[in-house]
Protein backbone atom coordinates (compact mmCIF):
# COMPACT_ATOMS: atom_id res chain seq x y z
CA UNK A 1 0.00 0.00 0.00
CA UNK A 2 1.42 3.45 -0.86
CA UNK A 3 2.36 5.44 2.18
CA UNK A 4 1.60 9.14 2.45
CA UNK A 5 4.61 10.98 3.79
CA UNK A 6 3.77 13.63 6.34
CA UNK A 7 5.12 17.09 5.56
CA UNK A 8 8.38 17.61 7.50
CA UNK A 9 7.04 20.88 8.84
CA UNK A 10 8.33 24.42 9.07
CA UNK A 11 8.62 24.59 12.84
CA UNK A 12 10.95 27.21 14.33
CA UNK A 13 14.21 25.48 15.21
CA UNK A 14 13.21 22.27 13.35
CA UNK A 15 12.91 23.20 9.70
CA UNK A 16 15.58 21.52 7.52
CA UNK A 17 14.42 23.53 4.46
CA UNK A 18 15.24 26.79 6.25
CA UNK A 19 18.37 25.53 8.00
CA UNK A 20 19.83 24.31 4.70
CA UNK A 21 19.17 27.71 3.11
CA UNK A 22 20.88 29.41 6.05
CA UNK A 23 23.87 27.08 5.79
CA UNK A 24 24.17 27.94 2.10
CA UNK A 25 24.15 31.63 3.06
CA UNK A 26 20.78 32.24 1.34
CA UNK A 27 18.93 35.00 3.18
CA UNK A 28 16.03 35.38 0.76
CA UNK A 29 14.07 32.19 0.21
CA UNK A 30 10.67 31.10 -1.02
CA UNK A 31 7.76 30.03 1.14
CA UNK A 32 7.38 26.37 0.10
CA UNK A 33 3.80 26.06 1.27
CA UNK A 34 3.67 22.27 0.83
CA UNK A 35 6.18 21.89 3.67
CA UNK A 36 3.81 23.08 6.41
CA UNK A 37 2.58 20.21 8.57
CA UNK A 38 -0.93 19.91 9.95
CA UNK A 39 0.59 20.67 13.37
CA UNK A 40 1.99 23.97 11.98
CA UNK A 41 -1.47 25.01 10.75
CA UNK A 42 -3.00 23.97 14.08
CA UNK A 43 -0.58 26.27 15.97
CA UNK A 44 -1.62 29.18 13.72
CA UNK A 45 -5.32 28.34 14.34
CA UNK A 46 -4.81 28.28 18.10
CA UNK A 47 -2.79 31.50 18.17
CA UNK A 48 -5.36 33.28 16.03
CA UNK A 49 -8.44 31.97 17.88
CA UNK A 50 -6.98 32.88 21.28
CA UNK A 51 -5.81 36.41 20.45
CA UNK A 52 -8.71 37.56 18.22
CA UNK A 53 -10.93 38.82 21.12
CA UNK A 54 -7.95 40.71 22.54
CA UNK A 55 -7.35 42.38 19.14
CA UNK A 56 -10.98 43.55 19.19
CA UNK A 57 -10.41 45.03 22.62
CA UNK A 58 -6.85 46.35 22.57
CA UNK A 59 -5.70 46.84 18.96
CA UNK A 60 -5.79 50.19 17.16
CA UNK A 61 -8.45 50.60 14.44
CA UNK A 62 -5.83 50.73 11.62
CA UNK A 63 -4.73 47.21 12.55
CA UNK A 64 -8.29 45.87 12.66
CA UNK A 65 -8.95 47.43 9.27
CA UNK A 66 -5.72 45.84 7.97
CA UNK A 67 -6.85 42.38 9.11
CA UNK A 68 -10.05 42.87 7.22
CA UNK A 69 -8.58 44.10 3.95
CA UNK A 70 -5.86 41.44 3.95
CA UNK A 71 -8.46 38.81 4.80
CA UNK A 72 -5.91 37.09 7.02
CA UNK A 73 -7.07 33.46 7.31
CA UNK A 74 -7.89 32.35 10.87
CA UNK A 75 -7.70 28.62 10.15
CA UNK A 76 -4.40 28.11 8.30
CA UNK A 77 -1.01 29.73 7.78
CA UNK A 78 -1.36 32.38 5.05
CA UNK A 79 0.53 32.23 1.79
CA UNK A 80 2.81 35.25 1.31
CA UNK A 81 1.56 35.52 -2.27
CA UNK A 82 -2.11 35.95 -1.32
CA UNK A 83 -1.24 38.56 1.33
CA UNK A 84 1.06 40.44 -1.05
CA UNK A 85 -1.57 40.52 -3.81
CA UNK A 86 -3.88 42.43 -1.45
CA UNK A 87 -1.18 44.55 0.17
CA UNK A 88 0.70 45.76 -2.91
CA UNK A 89 -2.09 47.99 -4.32
CA UNK A 90 -2.59 49.66 -0.93
CA UNK A 91 0.90 50.84 0.03
CA UNK A 92 3.37 49.06 -2.25
CA UNK A 93 4.66 46.99 0.68
CA UNK A 94 5.56 43.33 0.24
CA UNK A 95 6.34 40.55 2.70
CA UNK A 96 9.57 38.86 1.60
CA UNK A 97 10.50 35.41 2.91
CA UNK A 98 13.82 35.17 4.77
CA UNK A 99 15.73 32.26 6.29
CA UNK A 100 16.41 33.88 9.66
CA UNK A 101 18.10 36.83 11.29
CA UNK A 102 18.46 39.81 8.96
CA UNK A 103 21.45 42.05 9.74
CA UNK A 104 20.36 45.53 10.83
CA UNK A 105 21.38 47.49 7.72
CA UNK A 106 19.78 44.99 5.35
CA UNK A 107 16.62 45.02 7.44
CA UNK A 108 16.26 48.81 7.24
CA UNK A 109 17.30 48.78 3.59
CA UNK A 110 14.39 46.39 2.90
CA UNK A 111 12.00 48.86 4.54
CA UNK A 112 13.47 51.60 2.36
CA UNK A 113 12.40 49.47 -0.65
CA UNK A 114 8.97 48.69 0.88
CA UNK A 115 9.88 45.09 1.54
CA UNK A 116 9.34 43.49 4.92
CA UNK A 117 11.61 40.53 5.78
CA UNK A 118 9.23 37.81 6.94
CA UNK A 119 9.93 34.52 8.64
CA UNK A 120 8.21 31.43 7.23
CA UNK A 121 8.54 29.13 10.27
CA UNK A 122 6.01 28.90 13.10
CA UNK A 123 6.66 28.27 16.79
CA UNK A 124 6.30 24.69 18.16
CA UNK A 125 3.09 23.98 20.12
CA UNK A 126 5.00 23.78 23.43
CA UNK A 127 6.16 27.38 22.95
CA UNK A 128 2.78 28.80 22.02
CA UNK A 129 2.96 31.48 24.73
CA UNK A 130 6.42 32.80 24.06
CA UNK A 131 9.28 32.35 21.64
CA UNK A 132 12.22 34.77 21.67
CA UNK A 133 12.74 34.88 17.89
CA UNK A 134 10.14 36.15 15.42
CA UNK A 135 7.96 33.56 13.71
CA UNK A 136 5.37 33.85 10.95
CA UNK A 137 2.62 34.67 13.44
CA UNK A 138 4.61 37.62 14.77
CA UNK A 139 5.53 38.80 11.26
CA UNK A 140 2.32 38.18 9.30
CA UNK A 141 -0.29 38.65 12.03
CA UNK A 142 1.60 41.20 14.16
CA UNK A 143 3.37 43.39 11.59
CA UNK A 144 1.83 43.06 8.14
CA UNK A 145 -1.74 44.29 8.85
CA UNK A 146 -0.15 47.62 9.87
CA UNK A 147 1.51 47.86 6.44
CA UNK A 148 -1.91 48.46 4.85
CA UNK A 149 -1.99 51.94 6.41
CA UNK A 150 -0.30 54.53 4.15
CA UNK A 151 0.93 56.82 6.95
CA UNK A 152 2.39 53.89 8.88
CA UNK A 153 3.95 52.44 5.72
CA UNK A 154 5.57 55.80 4.94
CA UNK A 155 7.01 55.87 8.47
CA UNK A 156 8.66 52.48 7.87
CA UNK A 157 10.24 53.86 4.72
CA UNK A 158 11.57 56.83 6.75
CA UNK A 159 13.24 54.33 9.11
CA UNK A 160 14.89 52.84 6.03
CA UNK A 161 16.01 56.30 4.90
CA UNK A 162 17.61 56.86 8.33
CA UNK A 163 19.86 53.81 7.88
CA UNK A 164 21.08 55.27 4.58
CA UNK A 165 21.65 58.65 6.21
CA UNK A 166 23.75 56.94 8.91
CA UNK A 167 26.00 55.50 6.18
CA UNK A 168 26.24 58.82 4.38
CA UNK A 169 27.15 60.75 7.55
CA UNK A 170 29.86 58.35 8.66
CA UNK A 171 31.32 57.47 5.24
CA UNK A 172 33.95 60.23 5.44
CA UNK A 173 35.34 59.34 8.89
CA UNK A 174 38.84 58.04 8.18
CA UNK A 175 39.54 56.52 11.59
CA UNK A 176 37.76 53.15 11.27
CA UNK A 177 37.35 52.70 15.06
CA UNK A 178 35.79 56.15 15.42
CA UNK A 179 33.53 55.44 12.45
CA UNK A 180 32.37 52.20 14.07
CA UNK A 181 31.83 53.90 17.45
CA UNK A 182 29.75 56.64 15.84
CA UNK A 183 27.72 54.15 13.81
CA UNK A 184 27.12 51.96 16.85
CA UNK A 185 25.58 54.87 18.74
CA UNK A 186 23.43 56.00 15.83
CA UNK A 187 22.21 52.48 15.08
CA UNK A 188 21.42 51.87 18.75
CA UNK A 189 19.27 55.02 18.74
CA UNK A 190 17.56 53.97 15.52
CA UNK A 191 16.90 50.44 16.82
CA UNK A 192 15.48 51.74 20.09
CA UNK A 193 13.07 54.12 18.39
CA UNK A 194 11.97 51.25 16.13
CA UNK A 195 11.57 49.02 19.20
CA UNK A 196 9.46 51.50 21.18
CA UNK A 197 7.24 52.32 18.20
CA UNK A 198 6.93 49.66 15.46
CA UNK A 199 7.44 46.77 17.91
CA UNK A 200 5.91 48.06 21.16
CA UNK A 201 4.08 51.29 20.34
CA UNK A 202 0.79 52.43 21.81
CA UNK A 203 -1.56 54.97 20.30
CA UNK A 204 -4.19 57.16 21.92
CA UNK A 205 -7.45 55.29 21.33
CA UNK A 206 -10.95 56.50 20.56
CA UNK A 207 -12.07 56.52 24.22
CA UNK A 208 -8.84 58.17 25.42
CA UNK A 209 -7.49 54.76 26.48
CA UNK A 210 -4.31 53.64 24.70
CA UNK A 211 -4.52 50.90 22.09
CA UNK A 212 -1.65 48.88 20.62
CA UNK A 213 -0.05 49.27 17.19
CA UNK A 214 3.33 47.64 17.97
CA UNK A 215 3.63 44.15 16.55
CA UNK A 216 5.46 42.73 19.58
CA UNK A 217 2.29 43.52 21.50
CA UNK A 218 -0.18 42.55 18.77
CA UNK A 219 1.35 39.09 18.39
CA UNK A 220 1.55 38.35 22.14
CA UNK A 221 -1.61 37.14 23.85
CA UNK A 222 -0.16 37.86 27.30
CA UNK A 223 1.65 41.15 26.76
CA UNK A 224 -1.13 42.75 24.71
CA UNK A 225 -3.47 42.81 27.69
CA UNK A 226 -0.65 43.58 30.14
CA UNK A 227 0.44 46.60 28.07
CA UNK A 228 -3.00 48.17 28.22
CA UNK A 229 -4.33 47.05 31.61
CA UNK A 230 -1.44 46.46 34.00
CA UNK A 231 -0.50 48.95 36.71
CA UNK A 232 3.09 47.75 36.30
CA UNK A 233 3.43 49.58 32.96
CA UNK A 234 4.30 53.27 32.62
CA UNK A 235 2.57 54.74 29.58
CA UNK A 236 4.24 57.98 28.58
CA UNK A 237 3.41 60.39 25.75
CA UNK A 238 5.98 59.67 23.02
CA UNK A 239 9.25 61.52 23.66
CA UNK A 240 12.03 60.96 21.19
CA UNK A 241 14.91 61.82 23.52
CA UNK A 242 13.70 59.38 26.16
CA UNK A 243 13.20 56.57 23.63
CA UNK A 244 16.73 57.03 22.29
CA UNK A 245 18.38 56.66 25.69
CA UNK A 246 16.00 54.11 27.21
CA UNK A 247 17.19 50.50 27.37
CA UNK A 248 14.87 47.92 25.80
CA UNK A 249 13.73 45.05 28.04
CA UNK A 250 13.58 41.39 27.02
CA UNK A 251 10.72 40.79 29.49
CA UNK A 252 7.33 42.51 29.37
CA UNK A 253 8.12 46.17 28.69
CA UNK A 254 7.81 48.27 31.87
CA UNK A 255 7.65 51.50 29.87
CA UNK A 256 5.67 52.18 26.72
CA UNK A 257 5.22 55.30 24.62
CA UNK A 258 1.91 56.59 23.31
CA UNK A 259 1.59 58.49 20.01
CA UNK A 260 -1.48 60.47 18.94
CA UNK A 261 -1.33 59.49 15.28
CA UNK A 262 0.91 57.97 12.62
CA UNK A 263 1.53 61.47 11.30
CA UNK A 264 3.11 62.25 14.67
CA UNK A 265 5.13 59.03 14.38
CA UNK A 266 6.32 60.00 10.90
CA UNK A 267 7.39 63.44 12.19
CA UNK A 268 9.31 61.78 15.02
CA UNK A 269 11.33 59.63 12.62
CA UNK A 270 11.92 62.75 10.55
CA UNK A 271 13.24 64.49 13.68
CA UNK A 272 15.40 61.46 14.44
CA UNK A 273 17.10 61.87 11.08
CA UNK A 274 17.59 65.60 11.72
CA UNK A 275 19.15 64.88 15.11
CA UNK A 276 21.44 62.36 13.44
CA UNK A 277 22.64 65.05 11.04
CA UNK A 278 23.14 67.48 13.94
CA UNK A 279 25.34 64.95 15.77
CA UNK A 280 22.85 64.43 18.58
CA UNK A 281 22.97 60.62 18.21
CA UNK A 282 26.75 60.36 18.46
CA UNK A 283 26.61 59.50 22.16
CA UNK A 284 23.69 57.34 23.19
CA UNK A 285 23.23 55.66 26.59
CA UNK A 286 24.65 52.10 26.50
CA UNK A 287 22.66 48.89 26.98
CA UNK A 288 20.03 47.12 24.87
CA UNK A 289 19.44 47.32 21.97
CA UNK A 290 23.07 46.18 21.80
CA UNK A 291 24.59 46.44 18.34
CA UNK A 292 27.08 43.73 17.40
CA UNK A 293 30.17 44.50 15.31
CA UNK A 294 28.84 42.10 12.67
CA UNK A 295 25.75 44.30 12.40
CA UNK A 296 27.91 47.30 11.54
CA UNK A 297 29.41 45.61 8.48
CA UNK A 298 26.40 46.38 6.28
CA UNK A 299 26.64 50.09 7.21
CA UNK A 300 30.39 50.16 6.65
CA UNK A 301 30.17 48.44 3.29
CA UNK A 302 27.28 50.41 1.81
CA UNK A 303 28.60 52.60 -0.96
CA UNK A 304 27.89 56.31 -1.05
CA UNK A 305 28.31 58.90 -3.67
Instruction: State the residues that interact with Fe ion by CB under 5 A.
Output: 215
Phi, psi of 168, rounded to the nearest 5 degrees:
-60, -45
| Residues forming a β-bridge with 115 | 94
Helices assigned H by DSSP within 126-236 = 136, 150-170, 176-194, 215-218, 221-229
- Residue with Cβ nearer Fe ion (117 or 210): 117
Q: How far is the CB of 175 from Fe ion (least distance, A)?
A: 34
Q: How far is the CB of 2 from Fe ion (least distance, A)?
A: 42
Helices 38-58/61-70 angle, 10° precision? 140
- Residue with Cβ nearer Fe ion (182 or 195): 195
Q: How far is the CB of 142 from Fe ion (least distance, A)?
A: 6
For residues 151 and 144, what is the distance between their CA atoms, to the nearest angstrom? 14
- Residue with Cβ nearer Fe ion (180 or 199): 199
Q: How far is the CB of 52 from Fe ion (least distance, A)?
A: 20
- Residue with Cβ nearer Fe ion (37 or 289): 289
Torsion of CA 156, 71, 217, 95, to 10 degrees: -40
Peptide bond into 223 cis (omega under 30): no
Return the number of other C-beta atoms located less than 10 Å from residue 152's C-beta. 24
Residue nearest Fe ion by beta-carbon distance: 215
- Residue with Cβ nearer Fe ion (132 or 172): 132
- Residue with Cβ nearer Fe ion (31 or 215): 215
Q: How far is the CB of 23 from Fe ion (least distance, A)?
A: 24
Give the residue from 103, 101, 193 showing the smallest Cα distance to 139.
101
Q: How far is the CB of 153 from Fe ion (least distance, A)?
A: 15
Amino acid sequence: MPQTLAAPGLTTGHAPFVEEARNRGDLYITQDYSLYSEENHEVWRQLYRRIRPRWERYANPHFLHGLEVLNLPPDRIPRHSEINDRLRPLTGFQARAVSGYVPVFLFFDCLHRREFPTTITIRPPEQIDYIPEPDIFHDLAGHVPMHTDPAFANTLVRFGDCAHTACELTAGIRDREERKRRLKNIVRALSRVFWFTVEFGLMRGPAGRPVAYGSGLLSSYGELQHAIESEEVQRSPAQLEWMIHQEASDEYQPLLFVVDSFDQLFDMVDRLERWMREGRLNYVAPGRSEIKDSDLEGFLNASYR
